[in-house]
Structure 1
Amino acid sequence: MSPAGPATAGPAEGTATPPARPARRRTRRGSRSERLAPFVLLAPAVLVIVALRLWPLLLGVNFSFTGDGDRNGTSVGFDNYLTLFGDPLFRTALRNVGLLVLLLPVAVALPGLLATFIYLKVPGHRLYRGVYFFPAVLSPVIVGAIFTLLLAVDGPVNTLLGSIGLGPVDWLGDPDVAIFAVVGVHVWATFGMALVVFLAGFSTLDASLLDAAKVDGASLPQTIRHVIVPSLSRTIQFVFVTTMIGMLTSMFGLLFVMTSGGPSGSTYLPEYYIWIQQGRLNQPALASAASTVLFLIMLVVGLAQIGILRRAAKED
């Protein structure tokens, strides 16, 4: 007879163990926290943008519908906008914006091609990378002062042209030439930042695509068109938009030092016009109206560029 031991109770066969409720609650809490985490992290940035960007923008738009001088603070409807478009200087500024849009592909293609050569490691590419980026660290005032001396009627550039039999050019005094001179200096001084962005985009490029193009016997222009451009479409979109914004909002220093808006107002841009109305003529409401027009121009041009580039990328 075997000794009887104490009976041990166990779960009956066929019965399922009930789920642990505390663990489920912790899982639910964890998933809820994970969903809320991105919003919590984005909240400070959103608050800063709303407080320092969107709210002042709305205040500026509202202020543009008020008067200046004796009508300060009173609603004047669209009078400021009618004054703007009736001002020959502002119309000149808008024409120059159209010129910037036409020259924008050149301002983007230049750093893009240089970045391509650096990526392909042409001889001396390390030196070129530093030399090309150097102008981007210079102040616009310094760049403007340097090129004012270089482009003077009796300056080194005209001396060089005279040595090869070409007559002197009044780079900053001819209304038909001055805006091209200022834009050219701006492109030279700022394309280093776009070059860095393109080089960052090249770091994501699949090198096997270039090898395949080389095996197929593709020329450099064909490789750029059919391999590099489609692969860097998002980078190109970014550079297009940021370059256009820079042209419209970062040329004040050059304009002020090199031409002061002249000759005869031919180098006016909306940014310079806004400063004249606000800083010299004490017409802040009119300056707010010009700022609103500039914002709308940047918005429309930026969206149009993105749409065109996306369509071109899909076609490729």
Structure 2
Amino acid sequence: MPIGNTQPSVRPALSGRTDGPAGDTSARRRPARRAGSGGGLRAERLAPYILVAPAVLIIVLLRLYPLLLGVNFSFTGDGARNGTAVGIDNYRELLTDPLFRTALGNVGWLVLLLPVAVAIPGLLATFIYLRVPGHRVYRSVYFFPAVLSPVIVGAIFNLLLAFDGPFNAVLGAVGVPPIDWLGNPDIAMFVVVGVHVWATFGMSLVVFLAGFATLDSALLDAARVDGASLPQVIRHVIIPGLSRTIQFVFVTTMIGMLTSMFGLLYVMTSGGPEGSTYLPEYYIWIQQGQMNRPALASAASTVLFVIMLVVGLLQIQLLRRAGKES
């Protein structure tokens, strides 16, 4: 007796169907996923701005807004004309003031001495990176002055550079007559700048050492194999490799020279002799703190800000060109 086919029938898979309940459910889920992914992308794009916003707000409130107030205040009067608009009278007075002109001339000397102030920590960092004997001790010794207060540094060098101090005693022992280091108008400014460089180059040294950590050591090894001398290695390998670091040190050193020498000037020379060691920041303090002329001090501060901005941009431009040419 013939038996019929009892095998179960095979139904087609439902994975490819778009009709029915399963198809409707998957169709309803797809727009939800797209909406969620779009929100995630927007959050990722906004995240950097949200993270930077507090820092930007602090800069605007504590830096830019006071700066704009100071610039606006520089166009008002002092004394009997306090609060009244005087145009550019304060700037005219600055240009006719011999002390402010001396301060601007000293700024020019600072710009000329800037490469020396940058080269000293750069060379010392190079020797430490090349592991000269005793490089660990030198690293600590070089950085030590950076932790001292400018007032302490000034007091120490006042004793060392006194007319009857140790420096002149050493010079006298070799037959050199004593030098009035801080009383001679021709050399006092250079002495103060030298003390400032000694006291602050430790921070630049640390920045250079951090830059050396990013330098490709294979280039140095290749230069040594080719028989390059140390000056050639510095010129053709180290300087191009540290171009960004050098730019940063140039700008920060210039800003430090223009805005961080007040303590040394106050302790060592008080602007003397004969006003030869005046800098804009010391002139600003004199006008604000002693002469009670805040509007004129604001005008001098604005001039100092413009000088730093122009000099900083020129330095970056020149260093970029030098880096491309090398």
Q: Answer whether TM exceeds 0.5 for this pair.
A: yes
Which amino acid is 1:177 matched to?
A: I
Is 1:67 aligned with 2:71? no
Q: Which position in structure 1 is the counterpart of 2:102?
A: 92
For 2:18 and 2:65, the matched residues in 1 are separated by 66
Q: Secondary structure at the match of 2:85?
A: coil
The partner residue of 1:106 within 109, 116, 123 is 116
Deviation, structure 1 residue 13? 7.4
Equivalent of 2:6, from 2, 9, 13? 2
The residue aligned with 1:239 is 249
5 Å-filtered alignment, 1:80-229, equals 80-229=90-239
Match of 1:258 among 240, 258, 268: 268
Aligned-pair distance for 1:12? 4.6
Question: Match for residue 49 of structure 2?
Answer: 39
Q: How does 1:272-287 map to 2 (within 5 A)?
A: 272-287=282-297
In structure 1, distance between residues paired with 2:33 and 2:107: 63
Query: What is the root-mean-square deviation in Å for CA atoms of aligned residues?
Result: 1.7
Give the CA deviation at 1:33. Answer: 0.6
How far has the Cα of 1:22 moved from its partner? 1.7
Counterpart residue type for residue 227 of structure 1: V
Q: 1:73 to 1:13 in 2, by over 3 A?
A: closer
Q: Distance between the aligned counterparts of 1:8 and 1:205, measured in 2?
A: 65
> For residues 12 and 69 of structure 1, do their structure 2 counterparts lie closer, same or farther at Cα, with a shift above 3 Å needed?
closer
Q: For residues 32 and 249 of structure 1, what CA distance do their matches in structure 2 show?
A: 43
The structure that has the greater radius of gyration is: 2
- The CA distance in 1 between the partners of 2:236 and 2:37, in whole Å, is 49
* Structure 2 gap ranges (5+): none
Per-residue Cα deviation, 1:130-170 (whole angstroms, up to 9, x for no partner) = 00000000000000000001000000000001111111110
CA-CA distance at 1:121 after TM superposition: 0.3
Deviations 1:184-227 (A, max 9, x none): 00000000000000000000000000000001110000000000
The CA deviation at 1:2 is: 1.2
* Amino acid of the structure 2 residue aligned with 1:240: F
User: CA–CA distance in 1 between the matches of 2:7 and 2:215?
Assistant: 79
What CA distance in whole angstroms lies between the structure 1 residues aligned with 2:201 and 2:189?
18
Give 1:291's aligned residue.
Answer: 301
Aligned-pair distance for 1:61? 0.1
What is aligned with 2:317? 307
Distance 1:219 1:9, change over 3 A: closer
How many angstroms apart in 1 are the aligned matches of 2:43 and 2:135?
A: 49
Query: Once the 2 structures are TM-superposed, how far is the Cα of residue 11 of structure 1 from its aligned partner?
Result: 4.2
* Structure 1 residue 20 corresponds to structure 2 residue 40: no
Q: Distance in 1 between matches of 2:16 and 2:189?
A: 91
Whichever residue aligns with residue 98 of structure 1, its letter is G
Which 5+ residue runs of structure 1 have no aligned equivalent?
none
1:28 CA drift (Å): 1.0
Distance 1:61 1:4 in 2: 92
Scaled by the length of structure 1, the TM-score of the pair is 0.97
SS at match of 1:44: helix
2:63 corresponding residue in structure 1? 53
Q: In structure 1, what is the Cα distance between the partners aligned to 2:57 and 2:156?
A: 41
Measured after TM superposition, the shift of residue 25 of structure 1 is 1.5
Distance 2:60 2:15 in 1: 61
Inter-CA distance 21–186: structure 2 relative to 1 (3 Å threshold): same
The number of residues matched between the two structures is 316
Give me the TM-score of the superposition, normalised by structure 2: 0.94
